[in-house]
């Protein structure tokens, strides 16, 4: 090395990342992603397609893409979905083209899927980042489900039992984030910090679909 020359250090590649956010129903996945968008964090959020009825507070194309069951099945048949599942009698799926276009543009992509969907994405894109949102307690999760759906009785037990089964899949994930109702910004920033740490890896993740 000549005088005055400096050896260049290897720097991490700035590859776009695929961030998969999952967790049981009622844990706050939608709220966390909404807060990430509110804070202006630089992610491309893929809008999930669903057949479930639209809630009064939701907007088509922003919260979800609402389609008929017939329309959803056409998308399955034409291989338009990266992953899909039937959950509580409704279909949910991730549009494949949206993910591919955003990654090609160099944008980090955030997907929101259930645990079953996360397992499917892991088979297709093992280099994605998998984050599990966990409630602070079973009682807190029950309270959130009651607030969302009203007094569910037997249905509440079914949903809680499923949540506990989903929590047993935790080893499949890379990170866990505890969600608190009054700390949404902390949850959003914790997810962002995970992405920053991943971008500092010397061995960068390369997502291929």
Q: What is the pLDDT of residues 12-36, one digit of tens each?
A: 557 899 999 999 888 889 899 999 9
pLDDT of residue 198: 94
pLDDT score of 147: 78
Q: Is 118 left (phi over 0), alpha (psi -120 to 50) or beta?
A: alpha
- pLDDT over 80 at 87, yes or no: yes
Residues 101-112: tens digit of each pLDDT: 999 999 999 999
The ranges assigned to domains in the chain are: 18-46+105-199
Looking at residue 158, its pLDDT comes to 83
CB 187 within 8 A of CB 35: yes
Query: How far, rounded to the nearest angstrom, does the alpha carbon of residue 93 sit from its chain's CA centroid?
Result: 12
Report the phi/psi class of residue 160: left, alpha or beta, with left for phi > 0 and alpha for psi in -120 to 50: alpha
CA separation for the pair 181, 58 (Å, rounded):
19
Q: Rounded to two decimals, what is the model's pTM?
A: 0.86
> Three-state SS for 140?
helix
Q: At the fourth CATH level, which superfamily is domain 18-46+105-199?
A: P-loop containing nucleotide triphosphate hydrolases (3.40.50.300)
């Amino acid at each position: 090395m000549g005088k005055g020359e400096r050896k260049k250090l290897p720097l991490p590649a700035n590859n776009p990342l695929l961030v998969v956010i999952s967790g049981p129903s009622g844990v706050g996945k939608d709220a966390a992603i909404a807060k990430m968008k509110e804070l202006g964090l630089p992610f491309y959020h893929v809008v999930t397609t669903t057949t479930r009825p639209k809630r009064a507070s939701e907007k088509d194309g922003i919260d979800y893409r609402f389609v008929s069951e017939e329309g959803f099945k056409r998308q399955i048949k034409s291989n338009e979905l990266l992953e899909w599942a039937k959950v509580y009698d409704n279909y949910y799926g991730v549009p494949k083209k949206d993910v591919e276009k955003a990654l090609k543009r160099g944008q980090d992509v955030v997907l929101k899927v259930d645990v079953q969907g996360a397992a499917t994405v892991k088979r297709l894109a093992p280099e994605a980042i998998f984050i599990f949102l966990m409630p602070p307690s079973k009682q807190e999760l029950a309270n959130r489900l009651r607030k969302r759906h009203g007094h569910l009785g037997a249905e509440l037990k079914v949903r809680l039992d499923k949540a506990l089964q989903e929590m047993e899949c935790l080893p499949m994930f890379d990170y866990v984030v505890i969600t608190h109702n009054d700390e949404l910004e902390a949850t959003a920033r914790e997810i962002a910090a995970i992405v920053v740490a991943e971008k500092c890896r010397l061995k960068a993740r390369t997502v291929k679909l």
